[in-house]
Each structure stands twice: as structure tokens, then as C-alpha cells.
Amino acid sequence: MKCGQVEIVERRLYHMKLNYQVRLYPNKTMKNVLDSLCDYRRYCWNKAISCWNEQYESRLIGLPESVIDKLKNDVNSLTLEEQELINQYPIPSHYSVQNELVSQKEDWQYNLSSRVLQQAVKDLAKSWKLFFNNQDTAGRPTFKTKKSPKQGFKTDRASIRGGKLLLDKPLGYQGKWYTIKFKGLTILDGKIAHCSITRVNNKYTATFTIVVEPTILPNTGKKTAVDANVDHFDTTDRRTTLKPETLNPLYDKVKHYQRILARKRCKNPRVTNSKSYQVTRTKLQRTYERIANVQKDLLHKFTTELYQNYDTIVIEDLDVKKMQMSKKAKNLHRSLFGQFRQMMEYKSQKFGKTLIIADRYYPSTQRCSSCGFVKYGEDKITLSGNKKYGTRHNEYICYHCGYKDDRDHNAVLNLLALAK
């Protein structure tokens, strides 16, 4: 629910879906099955894009330019005859593409799960919808390549049997079929709605989407606000860092591997296909993964602790793109800001608490928490402070009433005012 400059995520007591990620340990047979399904998903995606484009092009060829112009500019001006003509050339859809791919299936495809094809077409339809609504930061859907280090597929027919993952066996498959061991989740309650399996650097992970009951935490009667920065989060009572000293050795490894790869590329631009280059690149990717896992774990603990201690929490709708472009944000995993909001939203419903999201343009940093004066133009605080008044980047001085405070703490108080 939106209200003025805030968006309120209300307490909702109903079934909800949560994602759990685990590490898979398949045997040799199931490893080949997973690799085949990853390749098949990429094949279905690329085939679906080609089919989608062909259906769209045939529509443009069949319709007169005058009708196409009306579709783009003024749909209400279409005549009955033109509307009937348009119905003869429908736009590509999830079902039209899926039906065409199913009708063109070859014999070898019946040895693989049909759910992979259906999920690939469904994901493509969703990507097109986000692209045309200007909501997809990835841009126009493109063909997938087997050279990408990350491959995967989705299915809605997975289940847990005896603490192991069991995938749906295709009717045409003649070989042996096994369950897959996994680690990372000891208790699994609820129904599996979807299962997404990913392969990165020959490591397999599965993300279970499970339908669970909300876990209502006791009320505390307290409220707080969170000001997110590139390396820490500030609340009304403390500061939580997301760049602990334990990550410094990993950051040093990242710099080391990056230098090695850069030197190799300078000596020979074609060296990217060499074995030594790929080994170093794999080590770099694994280091990135370790950093991301540590920071994600800290984020989970921080967000859960917030809901354990407070009933109402106010956060900002961060402009993630601009924060990613900042040089200071390089020490923070790029997706953490988006993960923070995602965790806060689903945990507010999971624990039965209230989350208030301030508008992206709410001036929490520029506004005085004492008198409400807002700084504009040359008076604004930047990452380097304020040159006009000679103030530092981490201090807030109100030019109207003289109020002084830490910049981040002042922003927290401004956000907290939205909870009244």
C-alpha cells in the first residue's frame, strides 16, 4: 500500500513462498543428467527466442503499415475491419511459442524433462514483458551461449525423498535414476513450488521455492529506521558493517587474480582461451562467490535481528544503479542493496511486522531532523562534503537552525519520522 512519500508493506498472515539455497552433490549419472538439462534449457531458450521473433515478424508482414501505426500511436482509432485483421495475426505469447516448440519436438527431446522447455518459454515471456514495460535492467532478451560460466534450468516437479532431491524422470528416459544429496538445509517444511538448479564452476546449487506458514514474532512496541551506505547500515541504536576485517584477505586475492589476468591479456589478447587463464579466472570467480556468501550471511542475520527487536521499520527505496556506479561501492557486492530490500519485504510478512519504504526522492540526507529545513543546490551535502561551507562528508550542519549531527544518524531520524 502506498501513502504519500512512503510505501507500507502491511502485516499479512497467509501462506507465503520462501527461497532456500543448497549445495548439490550428484553422482556421476545424475551429474550427466544435470549437465544435459542445463544444455537443454539453453537450447529451449534460444529456440523460443527464434520462434518469438519469427511470429512477431510474420505479424508485421501481414499487417498494413497504417494499422501498425495505429497500434503504436492510437489504438482507439482502429476500425472493426482492422480489429478483425489484427486478430488474424496475434502477437507472440507464452502459449503460442510453447505450442509451436512442442509440435516441433524431435525424438531425442523426449529423453529430457518437458518441464524444462515449459519453464524456459515462461521465463522468456516474463523477460519480454519486463522489457516492454521498461522494468528489466538486463535489457532485451538475447541468445544464451554455452561459454557462459553460469548455466541452469528450472522445474516444478522436484520433491524431497528421504532428505534428498528427486527430479522428475522423463517418460522416454531408459537409464538409471537416482536421488541427489544436498547440504545447506537441515529442516525442510512446506511444499516445493519450484526448483532452480544452477551450475557455476562445476558446482551445482539448487534453490527451492517453498510454501510455508508465517512465523509470528512477539510484539516489542518499538520502531526504528535503517540508513543504508556502501559498507554499513545505521539504525537508531547502532552501526552494522558489511565489510568486516575477515574479508580483507579475500579482497587481496581478488586484486591479485585481476592483476594476473590483466598481464596475460596485455601480453597476448588471445590468451583468454588458454588453460592457465581459465584456471585463474575460475579462482577469481570462486573468491567473488565467497565474498558474496559472507556478506549475504551478515545481511540475513542483520535483517532477522531487526524484526526480532522492532515492530515497525523504515527503509529507503535506494537507487541501486547510481550506488553501483560509485567507486566506494566496489567493496560491497553489487546485488546486496537489492537483496536487503527483498529480505526486508518478505521477512516483514514472514514475521508479521510492518515495513515502511520511503520514496526514492525523500531527502533523508539533506533534511534537518530538528527543524525540517531541506538543503538544495550548492547547500547540499555530497560524498565529499560541502565546499561552500567547508563541511565534511560525514557531518550534518543545518544552516537554518544550527543543528549539528552525524550525517547518517540525521538521515535515520528523518526516516524514523515517517513511522509516526
Rounded CA-CA distance 131/128 in Å is 5
At 230-269, the pLDDT tens digits run 778 889 888 888 778 888 899 899 999 999 998 888 887 7
- What are the tens digits of pLDDT across the range 47-76? 999 999 888 887 777 777 777 777 667 767
Please tell me the predicted confidence (pLDDT) of residue 14. 53
Q: Which pTM was predicted?
A: 0.66
pLDDT value at position 25? Answer: 94
Domain ranges of the chain: 16-212, 214-358, 377-419
Confidence of residue 137 (pLDDT cuts 50, 70, 90): low
Measured CA to CA, the distance from residue 127 to residue 15 in angstroms comes to: 26
- Which helix (DSSP H) or strand (DSSP E) does residue 89 occupy? none
pLDDT tens digits along 75-103: 677 778 777 777 777 778 889 899 999 99
Residues in contact with 195: Cβ distance below 8 Å, sequence separation at least 6, in sequence order: 154, 155, 156, 158, 165, 167, 206, 207, 208, 209
